[in-house]
């Protein structure tokens, strides 16, 4: 199962749309923008940026363009 970390009204919608168009099942976690940043999320995204996609093998990707290319290839 894919897991998408995103925030409302951000570029994360691009990956959300790509997953939806591909018909891929995924869990979506909306990460609140907080100050100070959420420490647990910083372990996943050191720049505190979304989107982050966790792949079924547990690895992660943080660049939306790269994520879209990977999903298209798959």
User: What is the Cα–Cα distance from 17 to 41, expressed in whole angstroms?
Assistant: 22
Dihedral angle over CA of 54, 8, 68, 48, nearest 10: -50
Binding status of residue 28 toward ligand GSH by CB under 6 A: no
Q: For ligand GSH, what does the binding mask look like between residues 33 and 62, x meaning CB under 6 A?
A: ---------------xxxx-----------
The tokens for 23 are 């018909």
Binding status of residue 16 toward ligand GSH by CB under 6 A: no
**Which residue lies nearer to ligand GSH by CB, 21 or 42?**
42
Instruction: By CB under 6 A, name the one of 2, 63, 70, 71 that touches ligand GSH.
Output: 63
């Amino acid at each position: 199962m894919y897991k998408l970390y995103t925030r409302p009204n951000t570029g994360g919608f691009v990956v959300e749309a790509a997953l939806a168009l591909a018909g891929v099942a995924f869990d979506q976690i909306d990460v609140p923008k907080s100050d100070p940043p959420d420490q647990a999320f910083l372990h996943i995204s050191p720049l505190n940026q979304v989107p982050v996609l966790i792949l079924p093998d547990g690895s992660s990707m943080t660049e939306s363009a790269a994520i879209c290319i990977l999903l298209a290839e798959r």
